[in-house]
Every structure is written in C-alpha cells, then in structure tokens.
Amino acid sequence: MSSANQPVQGMSDVAAPEVCLWQRLEQLARETMERYGFEELRTPVVEFESVFTRSLGETTDVVQKEMYVFEKGGRRLCLRPEGTAGVMRHAAGRGAQETDGARWYYVGPMFRSERPQAGRKRQFHQVGVECLEPPAPRVDAEILALQVDLLRAWGLGECEVRLNTRGEIAGHAAVAAGLRAALAAREAELCDDCRRRISENVLRVLDCKNAACQAVVATVPPPTVFMSPAAREYLAQTAAHLDALGVKYRIDPRLVRGLDYYEHTVWEIASTALGAQNAVAGGGRYRMQLGGRELVGVGFAIGLERVVGVLQALGRDRDLLPPPPPLVWLVGLGEAALDRNLALMQQLRAAKIACRMAPGGSLKSQMRAANKAGAAWVVLRGEDELTQGVAALKDMASGEQTTLPLDRLVPELTARIASR
RNA sequence: GUGGAUAUAGCUCAACUUGGUAGAGCACCAGAUUGUGGUUCUGGCUGUUGCGGGUUCAAAUCCCGUUAUCCACCCCA
C-alpha cells in the first residue's frame, strides 16, 4: 500500500466485477440515446483553457479553482471539467449549416481538482447529450424525458426532478440586481458565506443549507419576478409538455445551476439514496459565444459514479450484471498434453468458445483453478486421451463426465453453450 | 481550498487507552493410497504496522511532519 502503488488522489481504478456494471450502464445509455436520434461525438479530453473560461464563465468555481491547467508549447491547455463546452467548440468549428439541429451524445471522463468525498472524484465520468435544435419548450421537455427514461432504464428507482428557469442570459444582470436589492436589508441575518455570495454569486444564497438563510430566502421574491414575461411563459410551456409526457417534476424557484452559459430551462435530478452529494444528473438550456459563433442548445449530464452509488445503495447493481459467458477450462496432464491444449484453445476460440488453461501444475491444482474461475466445463487430456484422439468433457455443475472424439468437441461445446 | 476521522497480512479487523517478541477469521498454497474441482479434515505461508523523523533501554502504541483514504463544507454530476 505504498503511495507509489496508488493512483493519483481522487482518481481510481475500476476492476471486475464493478467494471462489468460500468460497461452495462454505458451500453444501456447508448441504446437509449440513439433511440432518441443522438449520435456519439468523441471530443478530446484536453482542450484549450479558453474553451471553458469563455463559456462557463471566468468567475465560476469550476474555472477559478477546479480546472487542471498546464502549459505546453506556449499554449494554455486543460483537462476538460465538463462536456458541453468541448462539444460546442466542435460545433463552432464546423459551421452553422452543418451543425444546426445536431443531436450528439458523449461518454467519458471529466476532471475537477476538488477535495474528494462520497460521490465525488477528481476524475469522474459523465454521459451527456447536447441538442442544437432551435430553442423550443418542446425540445427541452423531450431532452428531460430522455434523461428520465435513461435513469429508469438503469433501474435507479425514485428520483426527484427539480425544474426551474434562469431566464434569458440578457436578463441575468437584472435578476442579480433585483435579488441583491431584496437581500441587502436582511444581510445581517445571513451566514458568512451568504454575505460573501451577495456580491459574488447572489443566486447561491437561494440554495444555502443554513436554516437562518432559508428563513430569509423564503421572504424574498423568487428570481422569476425579475425575469421577462417571455421567460416565465417558456417555463410554463415546458412544464405543460412534461405533464403531457407524464414526466414527474417539481418546480423549484430556488434551484440554481452554477455555470454562466445557462438560460431558460434548468433542472437537477437527485436521489435520496446518496449522501451530501445527492445530485445524480443535471441539465439545461444554454447559449455561448465560441469561435465567432453563437451557439444555442439544450443538454444534460449524468454522473456515472453517482449512478453506480445509487444502484449499490439500493442493492440493484447485481440486477444489471449480465451473466458471464460460459467458460471452458482445459486441463492437461504432462507437458505433451499441455502443449496440445494450448493449440486446442485456439481452435475453440476460433469457434467463438471462451476458454483458458493453467500453465501447469497437478491435476488437482488445475481443477481447483478451473473451479475458481467459474468454468462451466473442463476438457481434460492426459496420455491416454492423446493416444486415443479423445478428450474427457466434464460438466462442473453436475459433475458428469463423458469421453468423446476430438472432432466432436467443438460441436458438442457449441450445442451445450447454445442450450444454456 | 477549509474542517473532522482514519491508515496493522491479499480482504475484514484485533492488539494502541496503560510502550515490552503483531494476532484472528476469511482468502491463498499443499496434503487426506495411482488421473478429478466445490463441502469437510490436517498442515503451511503471509507483515519494513502507509511513509519519514523524534522521545525512550525499548514504539503498531506517545509526539511532529508527510502521503493517501473516508465524511462534511465550498461547489458540482
């Protein structure tokens, strides 16, 4: 357990059997998102720092203190802290006619240099989508419906969807000013953090966990009051579409999404099965300037570590694990048999049969290895079998053993695998 | 970035308070009459006590530093 053998802080290896769960989650996600007309887009993990500073906002925590930034060849580069900006950078580079109406999804690692904690890693993994269709409540509702659909496909159980609007980006300053004015008179009642937030990030006062702050917030007008009628109407229409689709949600005027590029519809999905970091997924509509283009879209991201955490907390992770493919174990007695088994394995594999063997050892130890690996059948050959051109085939579950000619082995195993 | 807790065999943990040869269960390995796994029985292996320093005749144990993990804050998926 020396530190040289450990991964970097906040980053971890994923080994079997948990990695099988990850594969299954990704497979279900791809199937679901492709059913909604999304195509995969793979963007680099490394981007120019400016891709994020200009879209997420210079003052956001993610940009200010959580990015892995480094310099290479005089360029300021970074590991991507989220998925949307890189996808938009791709879109900006391809021109409007080609990317308008695009539906992309991504799966991959993101990096934020935060203090690790339950449900939070420095390298974490997200699946997300971005939809560049013209803005409409119908689109936002469809995207949120997809996200809920996906969480259901994973068997996540009850999750709470909180929905809100941030209004148009052009109106953000007016909302902030309105809230500041409303909170100024009550500043003395707020916690230290919130007094700081009033000037730095007013919206964050709304979702402070401090009870005293919540008491103040309850008496302050909700942010929607300071938005345009059109913004309120957009939210109402989106909600109506969600009702029609049977998607359950709760409008929460205090819901805040931190990144600057959000406008109009925003939402967050939480599970009660988790600890403090209970947000499993989030999403929203956004607008950003990149590469001389203005990009408008709607998307979501889901934290895979947290999905795994919920499934484990609910004891549902095993339900998603596919049964392992049946394995054949070859046992050989003596050097000659072991050599011949090495060649036989390649014949089995050519017939799409999964197989392994031990490099040597006693019959007992080879059988033990077969059992430990969970082999369904053992193919055993010693000197007798080699001279007679046969092999012993043992069913590990029942213990039954038969001897058959070598050329019958592949058909017999194929038939047994098919009938499992 | 801030605060609290923790670090002992491959795994889960004991021994620490009150310094005196580091232990259990599981796992692993080998046997139980000739070439057969799982259950059982018998035997065996396993550690620079995270790392570095200090105090002491003597440190897993007390002190300092460091690294990592866990939990929470901040923030976010």
- Compute, in degrees rounded to 10, the torsion defined by CA atoms A379, A385, A390, A396: -20
pLDDT, chain A, mean: 92
A72: CB within 7 A of chain B nucleic strand: no
Q: Per-residue confidence at A2, pLDDT binned at 50, 70, 90? A: very low
A420: CB within 7 A of chain B nucleic strand: no
Name the residue type at position A141.
A
Q: Which of A133-137, A149-153, A274-278, A394-398 has the lowest mean pLDDT?
A: A274-278
A124: CB within 7 A of chain B nucleic strand: yes
Q: How far is the CA of A2 from the C1' of B53 (A)?
A: 18
Q: How far is the CA of A258 from the C1' of B75 (A)?
A: 9
For A4-20, b where at least 16 C-beta lie within 10 A, e where not — what string? eeeeeebeeeeeeeeeb
The structural domains of chain A, ordered by start, are 7-168+227-320 (3.30.930.10), 327-418 (3.40.50.800)
Nucleotide nearest to A371 (CA to C1'): B37
User: What pLDDT score was predicted for residue A157?
Assistant: 81
> pLDDT tens for residues A3-38?
567 788 899 888 888 889 999 999 999 999 999 999
A277: CB within 7 A of chain B nucleic strand: yes
Q: What does residue A86 show for φ and ψ, rounded to 5 degrees?
A: -65, -40
A118: CB within 7 A of chain B nucleic strand: yes
Q: Which of residues 159-218 of A touch strand B (CB under 7 A)?
A: 193, 197, 201, 204, 208-210
> pLDDT tens for residues A274-287?
878 889 999 999 99
User: What pLDDT score was predicted for residue A281?
Assistant: 96
Nucleotide nearest to A65 (CA to C1'): B1
Nearest Cα residue to A283 out of A249, A326, A327, A323:
A249
Q: How far is the CA of A178 from the C1' of B65 (A)?
A: 50
Instruction: Look at strands A39-40 and A103-111 and give their pairing.
Output: parallel
Per-residue pLDDT at A253 exceeds 70: yes
Q: How far is the CA of A206 from the C1' of B74 (A)?
A: 15
- Strands of A262-270's sheet in order across: A39-40, A103-111, A123-131, A293-303, A279-290, A262-270, A160-165, A250-251
**pLDDT cut 70: percent of chain A above it:** 99
> pLDDT tens for residues A174-232?
999 999 999 988 888 888 888 888 888 889 999 888 888 888 998 899 999 999 999 99
Nucleotide nearest to A382 (CA to C1'): B35
Nearest Cα residue to A168 out of A224, A90, A85:
A224
Nearest Cα residue to A330 out of A404, A419, A393:
A393
A117: CB within 7 A of chain B nucleic strand: yes
A385: CB within 7 A of chain B nucleic strand: yes
Average pLDDT estimate for A60-77: 92
Nearest Cα residue to A298 out of A129, A179, A152:
A129
A152: CB within 7 A of chain B nucleic strand: no
Average pLDDT estimate for A352-359: 94
Chain B footprint positions (protein CB, under 7 Å): 1-3, 8-9, 11, 28-31, 35-38, 50-51, 67-77
Q: Nearest residue to B7, CA vs C1'?
A: A1
Q: Which of residues 29-58 of A touch strand B (CB under 7 A)?
A: none
A116: CB within 7 A of chain B nucleic strand: yes
A82: CB within 7 A of chain B nucleic strand: yes
Q: What share of chain A is helix, strand, coil (3-state, %, to 5)?
A: 45, 25, 30
Residues, chain A, total?
420
- HSE-CB at A69 with a 13 A cutoff on CA atoms is 15
Q: Which of residues 324-363 of A touch strand B (CB under 7 A)?
A: 333, 361-363
Task: For residue A97, give every residue at least 6 positions away whose Cβ sits within 8 Å of its Cβ, in sequence order, or none.
Answer: none
* Dihedral-angle region of residue A393 (phi above 0 means left; psi in -120 to 50 means alpha; beta otherwise): beta
User: What pLDDT score was predicted for residue A280?
Assistant: 95
User: What pLDDT score was predicted for residue A1?
Assistant: 37
- Compute, in degrees rounded to 10, the torsion defined by CA atoms A273, A275, A276, A281: -40
User: What pLDDT score was predicted for residue A4?
Assistant: 61
Q: How far is the CA of A239 from the C1' of B2 (A)?
A: 40
Strand partners, A106: A128
